[in-house]
Structures are given as C-alpha cells and as structure tokens.
Amino acid sequence: MKALPALGPTRKLKLPKESERRLPNGLTVIAIRRPAVPLVEVRLRVPFARTHLSRAALLSQTLFSGTADLSTVEIAAELQKVGGGLSAGVDPDRLMISGNGLVSGLERILELLGEVLSGAAYPVDEVATERDRLADRIQVAQSQPSHLARVALLKRIYGKHPYAVQTPEVSQVQAVRPAQLRALHGERLHPAGATLVLVGDLTPEKALDTAERVLGTWNGGGKQVDLPHTPPIEPGPLTLVDRPGSVQSSLRVALPAVDRTHPDHAALQLANLLFGGYFSSRWVENIREDKGYTYGPHSVIEHNEAGSAFVAAAEVATEVTGPALLETYYELGRLASLPPKEEELEQARQYALGTLQLGMSTQAGLATLASTYAGFGLRLNYLPEYAARLAATTLDEVAAAGAEYLAPAKTAVVVLGDAERVEASLRALTAVETA
Amino acid sequence: MERHTLDNGLRVVLAPDRSAPVIGVAVVYDVGIRSEPEGRTGFAHLFEHLMFQGSENLEKLAHFRHVQGSGGTFNGSTHLDFTDYYETLPANALERALFLEADRMRGPRLTEENLRNQVDVVKEEIRVNVLNRPYGGFPWLKLPPVMFDTFPNAHDGYGSFDDLESATVADAAEFFERYYASGNAVLAVAGDLDLAETLEMVQRHFGDVPARPAPERPSFAEPDLTAERRESYTDALAPLPALASAWRVPDPVADYAAYLPYVVLAEVLTDGEASRLVERLVLRDRTVTSVGGYLGFMGEPWEVRDPTAFLLQAHLPPGGDVDKVLRTVDEELDRLATDGLAEGELARTQARMATHLLRDADAALGRALRMAVLEQQRGTPELLNDLPRLVGEVTEEQIQEAAAALVPQRRATVEVVAGEAAGGTQ
C-alpha cells in the first residue's frame, strides 16, 4: 500500500490589503486589493428590508432601464466599452447591485452606477417590458420543484415574518406601475447604511478617492428600517405539498441556528458539516453513497439579517421518500445523542478552514464575502477570528451543538411530492398535514 | 507556464501563480460522450462516477474524505470530447492531490456493489436535471438528435435508464483499459507552487503509472446540413414555449482562425441589453423574454472539437410565435451581414469578452481546467493567456462573413411546446 502524503505546513490566513471610508453622504466604501487579473468586482449593498415585494422585485429589473439622458441600451453599451456589466437583485434584507469590468474602467463604471442611482427614470415602455419578463420568469419558477419546495418551507418556518414570502405572484407583478417604482426608489435607494465593495487590481486608497469623487453626490437621507427577529421555528407535523406525477420528492428540513457572532457559531458550523454540510458527511455518505436514494443532498446554515436557520435539502426518488426521511431523522438523532469521533471532527475542521482560504482566492469570492459580511456589520478581519474559533472548538462543544440545534424533535419538515404515492410512508414516521 | 511529458506518455502543464495560497489540480482524459458505445448511452458519465469509488490504495469514500479533509473541494464532469477530474485546495495539500489523482489513474476499484449504487445516483441526477423539471435537457440533449445523424453526435449523453441499468463491471473495466490510458491524459496544476518541486512530485506519483498509449480517436465528422431541419416536442412541465437553433461552424481546432469569429458573433448578438438580438427581440419586439447565443452544445467554445455548432436559444412569452422569432433572427443576421456593425459595437463586445476570459482565469482551478483541455486538444495551453488578444483581433469583416453563413437552410431547430398542465393558470 502506498501511504497518503502528509500535508505541508499550514499557511496562516493572510488578509488582502484594504481601505475603508465612510463618505459624508453615509455610504461606506471598502476597497480591497487582489491584483491577479486586471479587473474590478463591484458590489453595492443597499438595505431594503420591508419593501413592497412585487415593487422591489420589478425595481431591481428596471433600475438600469434608462435615465433622463441614457436609454437601457446606451447604459449597457457604455458599460461594455470598459468591459463592464452591472445587474441588480433583491432579497428580504437588501438590494444588491453587482458587476465587474476592466479595472481601467472603474471610474466609468461608478459614473454609470451613480447616474442610475440618482436618476433612474423607470420609463413606461421599458417598465412594461420588464414587468412581462418578470411575470414570465415567475411562472417558470412556479413549475420548478426546488422553487415550490422553497416557497412551502419559508411559509412553514417564518409564519407571519416578512421572510415568509419572498417571491411575488404574477398578478401582483402585473399591477406595479412606474410611479410606484420611482416612489420606492426615492424612499429607499439612499447611501445611508449602504456599502460599496470594490475588489481588484487597484490601489485601495485611490479607489476610495475615485468612489468618493463619483458617488459623493449621491443624495443622503433615507429612513432606517429594521426587521423584527425571526420567530422560533415551531416543530410540528410534517407539511406535505402535493405535486401529482412527481418522480422525485423534494425533502426540506429546517432547524433553528445562530448568527456568526454567537459563541456557538463555530461548533454549530462543524456539527452541520458532520451532518450534511459537505460531501464527506454522514447524511451524504448514507443516503447517496450507501443507499443511492438521491444525487445532491446538502445542508447549510442560512444567515439572514433577522435570524439564522439550518436547512437540509434533498431530491429523493418518489419510491424511497419515507426511507430517506427515516435516514435523515436517524443521522440528526445520532448527532444530537452521541458524540462524534475525533478524526471525523478533524476532517470537518480542516474542510472549514481550507474553504475559508479558497473563498478568498478570487476577486469575485472576496467581493461577495466582504459584501455579505458588511451586511452583518462584519469586516474581513472576522475571518482570522473565525478561523481561530474553528481551530479551538472541542469535541464536547460540537456534541453540545448537535444536541442543542440538530435534534430531530425540533425539526420543521416539508415534503413536496406525489402525495398519493408518498403520504402513507411519511405517516409511518411522523404526523403529516397536507398544505 | 511549463509543459512536460512523462515517460509513460502523461502530459503535464504547470503554471505557478503566487497571488493566493491555493492550487487547482485537473486531470483530463480524452474520452467523452461521443466515444461511448451504442447500447451504452450515458456510460462515459456513469464511468466518471465510478472513478470516485475507490482505487488501488483507496477505499470507497476515501477520495472525498482526503480532499475535503485537506481543506479542498473536488468534482468531475463529462463532456462531449473529454472527462475532467479536479480539486482545488490550500497549497499545502498539493502532493496529496497528486497522489489521489495518480492512484485512480492506475485503476479504479470496479465492483458490482459500487456500480449498482452509482447507477441509482445517476438516475436521481437525471431526474433532478431532466425529468422532474421544466426544460430539462433543453437544448443540450434535445437539439443534437435534430442536427446530427450518427450515434456519437446525436445520442443522449445522460443515457437511458435501460442502458444505464444494463451496464456491467466488465464494460467499465474495458472502458478504463481503452480510454483511461496515461497517454490519453493531461495533468495541469495551477496556483501557488514551485515548478521544480512540483515536477519532482508529479514524477514521484505519476511516474509509475503503467504506460499505455492513447487509442486512436475516430473521426466524428458529419456533412453540413443542406436543408433546414425542425422538430418540436411537448414538455409537460414547461409553462412557456422555447426554441433553440444551431448551425454548424468551422472546426474549432483545425480551422481556429475561421472558428473564432463565431465566438465573437455570439456575443455581438446576445451579450447584454446592447446586443443585437436582445435589443430587437426582447426590448423592441417583445417576442421573446430571453435570448442567448453560444458555441458548443455544452456552451464551451474553447473546449470542444468538430463537429460542433453555433447555438441560439430563446424563451417566448405565453402564446409566443416561434416562426416570427426565427424570421426576425434571419432578418437581423442578414442586416448584420449586409450593413456591418455600428461604430464601436465590435470593440465594446470584445472588451466585455476580455473581462469574462480574465475572470475565468482568476481562479487557480479555472486556469488548470482550461489549460488541461487546451493542451489535450491543441497542444497549446498558453492559449489561455492569448484568448483576450485573439478575441480582440477578430475584424468586422469576419463577423459579417460569419453572420452571412447562418442561413435558414443550414439550420436545425427544436421547439418546446408548453405543456397543457403547466400553462395558462395565471
């Protein structure tokens, strides 16, 4: 037998050069240097909690649809000239404008961004076009099992909280008018509380100067809107959503979790890895590599500004829906009841530490990381702190996190599938209510 | 960048870059969907799964655990002309990754139990990606049988359940023996590495892989279409109609200079709101809700061999008129071929393409994968760094010529008819 080569010495996590400035209008700008390729990544995060669902969705699709001086096509062409592109999206926490381009075009990209932020016109024809496109996309999403399962899960775990519904209905989108978009833009698209992240082949201080020169005139003001903390996840009967003829069942399991600054965070992350958070986890090795029930099961701790949740997801063959749930309960129960093995923990720990390095190794990765952290009031210097906590987490702490957070008795479960074929096998394991 | 060939025929490409303490490792075998035998559709992909099921010194599950337990991530994927296996890890795990790849190059553990398990897993993969969702396999599985006549080019690369279930351990052993030869593989490593030290490690781990020559690669050539082809099918889960068209293009490897303009043309037509077809079809006529253009059925312009195609695909609004969309596409292609481009139109498209290419090359793994395939198919991994320049050298006249070649009589089209159960509820 040949022996597995040992790992070389671990390199300490090294943060890239960065600078940060808060502009007088309230915009925070963070510039990070990674000169590997002559590009810049741009992320502008604007708080957008408690905005009208369909208006916010359509606003994100029409933000670049023209200003007083430039048409949709002209904005896109001007961006392209410097190798650039920008697009917007919303979730219940924020509006995110993201893009990239040749770093030589940074100033021009920010100028065009500034023109849109200050002067998006929401022209009637363009809004009508994008409204129909958005309605079509939502209709397509509603035929996707993964989307339908997500909709049912959010409703199940968030109840009356704004997180419970995140996709508007087609009819709601069709009702949105341009004046409502202009009003929403005026009320909420402000620099106060927003964060611009720039990552690339740049000198951080100079990039901050450029951002200040170009975006310093973006108008201030705007109200601060906070979300209430998410409600506790209520355990209870499994929610079965019928999708007649479905050849697979979409299994979703939610459990309570804690945010990145909570003392249990590192231990829970490791417990999640042991359960289903990476390929070499108990759940994946069981229901995929041993039993062949599914292709890509995975679990993740989802962090949102108003609360965190553990979500496990698997698409399993219809005929093994009950058995797949049984194994899921079993693996959760094992983590909640018995301590893991030392070598199993070390493997998960190395994965957690190594993937931190990988996540920082590209401009796009750094930009998304920095922007996401900024939404939680954190900076990249959180990374070495988090790495230290991962390194120091003990077996007892991971076992305690398993018991506290991953107990099957605390789960909220949603199954989307062919109810006629799967209901009986689910009822053998737990109480079921049909949605 | 350095190129080497080991005594056993394995080609090696090394590209150091110290910008982050990570490495990307890619091993590419010159076998893909086009090479699988009749009656064994989906076999190249099924075999890719078997390469993760243990090898000479590694039990089942060990590969995954060793990569991830070293802080890395892994995957593999099966393409028309190649199959890749790859990891990206912190740089201190380089030797371990080389060991893992060398071990399975010497031979996977092919057992009945693992085969049956992975047939089940692959069936669930096909259900997720094709059978249980709208537009499954559209157009990459649906258009080739319209355009091509021979089994290698036309068949379903994911495979039929019957063929997958018929696969045997003996089939797998034979497939490995024939195609997974050291002489048929390329190893590429990019990232935070020392050239001399890495080459020494590569020798240590791959040097004793038995020498086996590459099998002769058959020609998969087919004549161009001389008359338009068009088919349609109903997708019960799809709420809206869609269409995809393809035209044959020059040989991407042998006739590179003639092929390149088509790659740029695809972006002129569909990259962003300022592109020809988005402006016309989406924004002006509103006859489609989205349109995209690209080279190769799997959308990989630099990683495909002849025969391949230029593709356009579009999703239509409820009750959309496919014929009208096709007529407009013809009109726009004709306008481009006849009147040429607007001032600055080509330059801005090329600038955006440069961004995309550079962005792909930012990740160590992205560089390793692309270099490995460029070495395998062309013997020129350094093309990775030349692509932005080459794209930038394409001229307006070349774009016009390419557009002029996309005529209806050379076109194959597949149309998705929305299912009755899915549509019309809103």
Tell me the pLDDT band of B214, cut-offs 50, 70 and 90. Answer: very high
The H or E element spanning position A254 is strand A248-256
Contacts of B17 in chain A (CB under 8 A): 36
CB atoms within 10 A of CB B382: 13
Average pLDDT over residues B16-39: 97
Name the CA radius of gyration of chain A, rounded. 23
CB contact under 8 A, A81 and B426: no
CB contact under 8 A, A81 and B91: no
Which pLDDT tens digit goes with each residue over A81-103?
Answer: 999 999 999 999 999 999 999 99
Chain A touched by B336 (CB under 8 Å): no
Nearest to B283 among A2, A37, A129 (CB): A129
For A238-434, the fitting CATH number among 3.30.830.10, 3.40.50.11540, 3.20.20.80, 3.30.300.30 is 3.30.830.10
Chain B touched by A247 (CB under 8 Å): yes
Domain ranges for chain A: 18-215, 238-434
Tell me the pLDDT band of B162, cut-offs 50, 70 and 90. Answer: very high
- pLDDT for res B71: 97
Chain B touched by A172 (CB under 8 Å): no
Chain A touched by B133 (CB under 8 Å): yes
Chain A touched by B283 (CB under 8 Å): yes
Q: What is the 3-state secondary structure (H, E, C) of chain A?
A: CCCCCCCCCCCCCCCCCEEEEECCCCCEEEEEECCCCCEEEEEEEEECCCCCHHHHHHHHHHCCCEECCCEHHHHHHHHHHCCCEEEEEECCCEEEEEEEEEHHHHHHHHHHHHHHHHHECCCHHHHHHHHHHHHHHHHHHCCCHHHHHHHHHHHHHHCCCHHHCCCCCHHHHHCCCHHHHHHHHHHHCCCCCCEEEEEECCCHHHHHHHHHHHHCCCCCCCCCCCCCCCCCCCCCCEEEEECCCCCEEEEEEEEECCCCCCCCHHHHHHHHHHHHHCCCCHHHHHHHHHCCCECCCEEEEEEECCEEEEEEEEEEEHHHHHHHHHHHHHHHHHHHHCCCCHHHHHHHHHHHHHHHHHHCCCHHHHHHHHHHHHHCCCCCCHHHHHHHHHHHCCHHHHHHHHHHHCCHHHCEEEEEECHHHHHHHHHCCCCEEEC
- pLDDT for res A221: 72
Residues 205-234 of A with CB under 8 A from B: none
Chain B touched by A12 (CB under 8 Å): no
Contacts of B114 in chain A (CB under 8 A): none
Taking the CA of residue B170 and the nearest CA in chain A, the distance in Å comes to 21
CB contact under 8 A, B123 and A363: no
Which pLDDT tens digit goes with each residue over B202-211?
Answer: 999 999 999 9
- pLDDT for res B421: 58
Q: Is A137 helix (H, G, I), strand (E, B) or coil?
A: helix
What contacts B272, CB < 8 A, 6 or more positions away? A76, A79, A80, A85, B278, B352
Residue B423 has pLDDT above 70, yes or no: no
Query: For chain B, what is the mean pLDDT?
Result: 97
Query: A18-215 — its CATH code?
Result: 3.30.830.10
- pLDDT for res A224: 82
Q: What's the token pair of residue A312?
A: 């496990």
What contacts A388, CB < 8 A, 6 or more positions away? none
- Residues B66, B100 contacting (CB under 8 angstroms): yes
Taking the CA of residue A223 and the nearest CA in chain B, the distance in Å comes to 33
Query: For chain A, what is the mean pLDDT?
Result: 97
Torsion angles phi and psi, residue A293, rounded to 5 = -80, -20
CB contact under 8 A, B103 and A2: yes
- pLDDT for res B426: 35
Average pLDDT over residues A164-181: 98
Average pLDDT over residues A211-227: 89
CB contact under 8 A, A362 and B363: yes
Which pLDDT tens digit goes with each residue over B264-292?
Answer: 999 999 999 999 999 999 999 999 999 99
- pLDDT for res B424: 41
Torsion angles phi and psi, residue B177, rounded to 5 = -60, -40
Average pLDDT over residues A316-321: 98
Question: Is B172 buried (19+), middle (13-18) or exposed (0-12) by CB count in 10 A?
Answer: buried
Report the residue of chain A nearest B237, measured CA to CA.
A143
Chain B touched by A82 (CB under 8 Å): yes
Tell me the pLDDT band of B127, cut-offs 50, 70 and 90. Answer: very high
Contacts of A277 in chain B (CB under 8 A): none
* DSSP conformational letter for B138: T
Closest CA to B108 of B155, B167, B47: B47
* DSSP conformational letter for B283: I
Residue B422 has pLDDT above 70, yes or no: no
Q: Which range has the worst mean pLDDT, A3-12, A137-146, A422-431, B411-420? A: A3-12
CB contact under 8 A, A140 and B134: yes
Taking the CA of residue A378 and the nearest CA in chain B, the distance in Å comes to 22
Chain B touched by A347 (CB under 8 Å): yes
Average pLDDT over residues B141-159: 98
CB contact under 8 A, A170 and B426: yes
* Residues A42, A45, A46, A49, CA torsion sign: positive
| Cα dihedral A412/A413/A416/A422 (nearest 10) | -150
CB contact under 8 A, A364 and B358: no
- What structural domains does chain B harbor? 2-206 (3.30.830.10), 229-418 (3.30.830.10)
Chain A touched by B208 (CB under 8 Å): no
CB contact under 8 A, B92 and A133: no
Tell me the pLDDT band of A1, cut-offs 50, 70 and 90. Answer: confident
- Residues A293, A316 contacting (CB under 8 angstroms): yes
Taking the CA of residue B215 and the nearest CA in chain A, the distance in Å comes to 29
- pLDDT for res B425: 39
Query: Is A238-434 in the same CATH topology as A18-215?
Result: yes
Torsion angles phi and psi, residue A212, rounded to 5 = -65, -40
Which pLDDT tens digit goes with each residue over B305-334?
Answer: 999 999 999 999 999 999 999 999 999 999
Closest CA to A136 of B412, B135, B328: B135
Tell me the longest C-alpha to C-alpha distance in chain A.
72
CB contact under 8 A, B20 and A361: yes
Residue A220 has pLDDT above 90, yes or no: no
- Residues B65, A344 contacting (CB under 8 angstroms): no
Q: Is A154 helix (H, G, I), strand (E, B) or coil?
A: helix
- pLDDT for res B245: 98
* Residues B141, B145, B148, B150, CA torsion sign: positive
